[in-house]
Amino acid sequence: MQEVSIKKSFCTTREAADLLGVSVGTVQLWVESGLLQAWKTAGGHRRVLRDSVDRLLHKEPVSTPADATPAPNLRRLRVLVVEDDANLLRLYDANISRWPMAPEVALADNAVSALLMMGRNCPDLLLTDLHMPGMDGFNMLRVLRASPEFSETTIVAVSGLDAAEIEQRGGIPPGIEVLPKPIPFNRLLAIATDIVNQGRFQRPPV
């Protein structure tokens, strides 16, 4: 009698992490942000829908720098920019690419892509808009700040919203600097320089 193999309709967070090639913490992040569909058993264990894992596996690969995995103690600063305005995204790329520490720059035009990119290659500095279609920056930041995996990432919000509008939308988590538009590149460079001065990063040859 021929044995029939039946694929389970769900998997554990560890199984999902193995399938996706990420950590369990990243799977939990993607569940919290809605990128993966899951539920909790009566015992409090997460079960992830296999269909949602398969959909994520078949998404177009996100763009990350070719040398995104150098030696951990000698690597360039990683910067991720999240901005839905294509012109501003190009402006970020053009300016940040000229910074003296020669950072690796990754770009995302929406929060969902940004979360996927962060799960696979955590940045040292995240620069994000707040008002975006779909999942906005507010929700993305709350999800990230609730995930211990990204506690070392410096996050800066750059927004055209004023303080009152930000508060009306529930505010943002503590410890995140909010800067106004037009984009204050001098301040962003100063923040990046402070991170590099911690000594964990490769410096370009003089």
Cα–Cα distances in angstroms (integers) from residue 19 to residues 14, 69, 112, 117, in the given order: 9, 20, 19, 16
Instruction: For domain 10-57, say whether CATH 1.10.1660.10 is its number.
Output: yes
3-state DSSP assignment of residue 156:
strand
Residue 185 is predicted with a pLDDT of 94
What mean pLDDT is reported for the chain?
A: 82
Residue 30 is predicted with a pLDDT of 78
**Residues of the chain above pLDDT 70, percent:** 83
Q: Which residues pair with 66 in a beta bridge?
A: none
Cα–Cα distances in angstroms (integers) from residue 118 to residues 62, 93, 168, in the given order: 10, 18, 27
Residue 200 is predicted with a pLDDT of 66
pTM for the model stands at 0.70
Spatial distance between the Cα atoms of 60 and 203, rounded to a whole number of angstroms = 32
Spatial distance between the Cα atoms of 161 and 165, rounded to a whole number of angstroms = 6
Q: Which CATH architecture has domain 78-196?
A: 3-Layer(aba) Sandwich (3.40)
3-state DSSP assignment of residue 35:
coil
3-state DSSP assignment of residue 133:
coil
Tell me the pLDDT band of 88, cut-offs 50, 70 and 90: very high
Considering the chain, tell me which residue range(s) the CATH 3.40.50.2300 domain(s) occupy. Answer: 78-196
3-state DSSP assignment of residue 78:
strand
Considering the chain, tell me which residue range(s) the CATH 1.10.1660.10 domain(s) occupy. Answer: 10-57
